[in-house]
Amino acid sequence: MLKDELSRSSNESPSLATTPATVHADSPIPLSLPPEVPLVAFSHLRWDFVRQRPQHLLSRFARERAVWIWEEAIWCDHHLPYLEYHRFKGDDVTSLRPRVPHSWSAEDKMAALQELYALFCEQTLRCAPIAWFYTPAMMPIQGDGDVELIVYDCMDELSAFAHADPALIEQERRLLARADVVFTGGRSLYEAKKSRNPNVHAFPSAVDTAHFARARSLAPRQPDIRTAGYFGVIDERLDLGLVAKLADALPDWRIEMVGPVVKIDPASLPRRANIVWSGPRDYAQLPEVLGGWNVALMPFALNEATRFISPTKTPEYLAGGRPVVSTAIADVIADWGEVEGVAIARNAVAFASAVEQAGALPAGGAWLDEVDQRLERISWDRTHAQMNILMARAYRKRRDDTSGRAPALLRRARPYDTLVVGAGFAGSVMAERLASDAGQKVLVVDRRPHIAGNAYDEKDAAGILIHRYGPHIFHTNSREVFDYLSQFTEWRQYEHRVLASANGKLVPMPINRTTLEQLYGIDLPDDESAAAFLAARADPRDPIVTSEDVVVSAVGQELYETFFRGYTRKQWGLDPAQLDKTVTSRVPTRTDRDDRYFQDSFQAMPAAGFTAMFARMLDHPGIDLRLGTEFADLDPAALAGHVVFTGPIDEYFDYRFGKLPYRSLQFRHETHDVEEFQPVAVVNYPDEAVPYTRITEYKKLTGQSHPATSISYEYPSSEGDPYYPIPRPENQELFKRYEELARALPDVTFVGRLANYRYYNMDQVVGQALATYRRMGLAPAEGGALAKAAE
């Protein structure tokens, strides 16, 4: 076995035999797909470009029914659009190549493609077809035309490829909502899509074993020179730096790279005396190419373009009798990681070592016997048979459910103008404005079983009104925001005061003159003396970059250690020196005796609580509310023409570039049989030895009279609901990548702190929502009035 530093793992994924949703070819077929039903596949690939999954599968489907493949449009100089029909020797598939004038606008090009497809259906097809999509980008061409079945064969995460159209994200969301059955090209794609359609099945790469097995009878062309090779497209998915390091580490080996160079500059290819860039080869030539190698390579980069790939090369190389060395591609590890003759290397040194070990394997023997047993289970014939069964079942379900017609949800008009995702501040304000001012019909959904988001309050078992997700204190300097919310609540005047436990005392926080006097046992008669005291301890830093710089520059190291360092480390899981300066710049230092935590013009609490305020905001005949509902379980395109999304932006895009990091909170709620637990509503505990950051006593926030009192201990956590975006440069860069995707979606509006990956106070969220609504430019309904927006 090729093991040691190559880091195999038997825990990465189930074995190939237990692929999720595998259907055995001998399963009873509940209903045959009528052979007279044609199949139209929509593909971004040219049928004659390269032999791969579409050709293998569609050629087999063509043995039983008419199969057409609608290829990507070709922009031409002709003054009118037209459709070319192509047939290729040895195939029963007809290739359709639309040509459209390149000078036309994008809208006119799409309209032309839709007309060409409609004309093709009218003049050529005898009945509604099976619509088989290899790319969501072509779904608009088929439109709402009649179909017997919709199949999505998701071979790759196309939106992660270089120069991909950002609109692919939303197009795929719509296709997954419509598809009767979804096939994925591997396990990673299956895991990414399984929650987005009820009928998703994994089909890792199959292989034409007999074709590639011809390589086993061939010996390396240069017996005295060992050769390691790769065939396939050479693009951004390859780690060219690794190829260069491999050639340097193995100067006695010949490294042969076979395939077309696509989407990258050929000048970027590493040049070494022992690297040969051989250019493309036909599918028929690949066994001969493979037969000239000692070891087959899969030097893929680990990036967004390779996160979900399940390379066909692994079984093709193995069918040719050549051992394989691969980088740590998840599906290769899952499907082949425990097979002798497949090595997984996680760095350049390990990769070179693995190539030498693989080159020492015998040409036959036990390792190849194990390979052959596995290859028998993944033939294209077996894959085709399994897919046929799943399609037949989906076909019968569609006919049973809809009498052969498209699902009712796709036929009827959309029931709502806007779908609002999230019933917190951002979503509720948007929903209220859209319904009451613009006269829209709005559906609000939230995965939680309640409204009000993190501001949700409720009476606990003792009858005391508590904030379920920690204390929320309303304050603002915006008259517009305050007046807007005043439509939905009466207010209880409340000025928030916080104490901090320091050196065995409870002292005012933020630091003010009283804090300094109590902490140091001194007398500071005026603002000037307090300012001088702080100045004497300050340690100015230039430039101010981190949170530590902010505090130490203002109050010095001792007060920083007493009040900020431990609290920040608990709250964020990072030292202040690792956090952006904005984290602590929000907490002021004062030289007067003002012990209010906030100094805003408007400070108050909703008299009946936050939940009651939200209930009044959403109490409108134009608003429907659906709680305990996951957005991923909905078909937004069928429900509404526009989506307002207030959840995490990375979640909307299925964590395409990875998760944005957040800090979360956990709460321990307690009720004590005393009237008062502590002197103020919130006491902070900055000492890092104390596991919680603060204790809140809710009666002091709400003004409720009760013989008992309820409190909560607040524990910061790295796991749980997202509360606080972590302000670090690399996180902002990651957010900007998602923001670029969001900008490409005209039918989706992203609002709120999670959608913008930015911490907002409650009034800032309200102001942003009002401003966003105003920018939508919707005409007010009769009797409505546009709210003044707080920018």
Contact 311, 300 (CB under 8 A): yes
- For residue 551, what pLDDT band results from cuts at 50, 70 and 90? very high
For 86, 182, 184, 301, 439, the CA distances from 309, given in Å and listed in that order, are 30, 16, 10, 11, 46
Across 364-493, the runs of DSSP E, i.e. the strands, are 416-421, 442-446, 457-459, 465-467, 474-476, 491-493
- For residue 437, what pLDDT band results from cuts at 50, 70 and 90? very high
Across 263-414, the runs of DSSP E, i.e. the strands, are 275-279, 295-298, 324-326, 342-344
**Of 445, 437, 406, 420, nearest to 641 (Cα)?**
420
Output 376 or 538, whichever has higher pLDDT: 538
Average pLDDT over residues 378-397: 87
- State the pLDDT at residue 413: 57
Percentage helix, strand, coil, to 5, in the chain? 35, 20, 40
The yes-or-no verdict on residue 51 having pLDDT over 50 is: yes
Total Cβ atoms within 10 A of residue 573: 14
Mean confidence (pLDDT) of the chain: 88
Enclosing H/E stretch for 201: strand 200-202
Output 339 or 791, whichever has higher pLDDT: 339
- State the pLDDT at residue 189: 86
CA distance 716 to 67: 58
- State the pLDDT at residue 49: 57
- State the pLDDT at residue 786: 31
- State the pLDDT at residue 166: 80
- State the pLDDT at residue 132: 96
The yes-or-no verdict on residue 788 having pLDDT over 50 is: no
- State the pLDDT at residue 781: 65
CA distance 323 to 212: 13
Average pLDDT over residues 242-251: 97
- Residue 266: CA atoms inside 13 Å, Cβ hemisphere, count? 7
Long-range contacts of 738-743 (CB under 8 A, 24+ apart): 738/649, 738/650, 738/653, 738/656, 738/657, 738/660, 739/649, 740/166, 741/166, 741/169, 741/653, 741/656, 742/649, 742/652, 743/166
The yes-or-no verdict on residue 163 having pLDDT over 70 is: no
CA distance 266 to 248: 20
Contact 696, 682 (CB under 8 A): yes
* Residue 489 backbone dihedrals phi, psi, to 5 degrees: -160, 150
Strand partners, 600: none
* Residue 707 backbone dihedrals phi, psi, to 5 degrees: -70, -20
Average pLDDT over residues 693-706: 97
Rg of the chain over all Cα atoms, to the nearest angstrom: 32
For 150, 151, 521, the CA distances from 387, given in Å and listed in that order, are 13, 10, 80
User: pLDDT > 70: what percent of the chain?
Assistant: 91
Contact 235, 341 (CB under 8 A): no
Most confident stretch, 137-151, 652-666, 684-698: 684-698
Contact 142, 410 (CB under 8 A): no
Output 474 or 331, whichever has higher pLDDT: 474
DSSP state for residue 346 in the 8-state scheme? S
- State the pLDDT at residue 211: 92
pTM score over 0.85:
no
Range 550-563 burial, b when 16+ CB lie within 10 A, else e: bbbbbbbeebbebb
**Of 174, 187, 181, 186, nearest to 199 (Cα)?**
181
The yes-or-no verdict on residue 12 having pLDDT over 90 is: no
What pLDDT digit, counting tens, does each position of 618-638 carry? 999 999 999 999 998 888 888
The yes-or-no verdict on residue 222 having pLDDT over 80 is: no
The yes-or-no verdict on residue 789 having pLDDT over 80 is: no
Structure token digits, residue 278: 């051989």
Contact 218, 239 (CB under 8 A): no
Average pLDDT over residues 102-126: 93
CA distance 336 to 14: 11
Q: What three-state secondary structure class fits 230?
A: strand
**Of 484, 480, 483, 438, nearest to 773 (Cα)?**
438
CA distance 308 to 748: 26
The yes-or-no verdict on residue 164 having pLDDT over 70 is: no
- State the pLDDT at residue 393: 86
Average pLDDT over residues 315-332: 93
Most confident stretch, 4-13, 271-280, 334-343: 271-280
For 48, 228, 281, 284, 373, the CA distances from 215, given in Å and listed in that order, are 23, 14, 15, 11, 18
CA distance 364 to 377: 20
The yes-or-no verdict on residue 768 having pLDDT over 50 is: yes
- DSSP assignment string, 620-665: -TTEEEEES--GGGS-HHHHEEEEEE-S-HHHHTTTTT-PPPEEEE
| Burial (CB count <10 Å: 0-12, 13-18, 19+), residue 791 | exposed
Enclosing H/E stretch for 183: strand 181-184
**Of 277, 333, 341, nearest to 310 (Cα)?**
333
What pLDDT digit, counting tens, does each position of 247-292 carry? 999 999 999 999 999 989 999 999 999 999 999 998 889 999 999 9
Contact 566, 687 (CB under 8 A): yes
The yes-or-no verdict on residue 785 having pLDDT over 70 is: no
- State the pLDDT at residue 535: 94
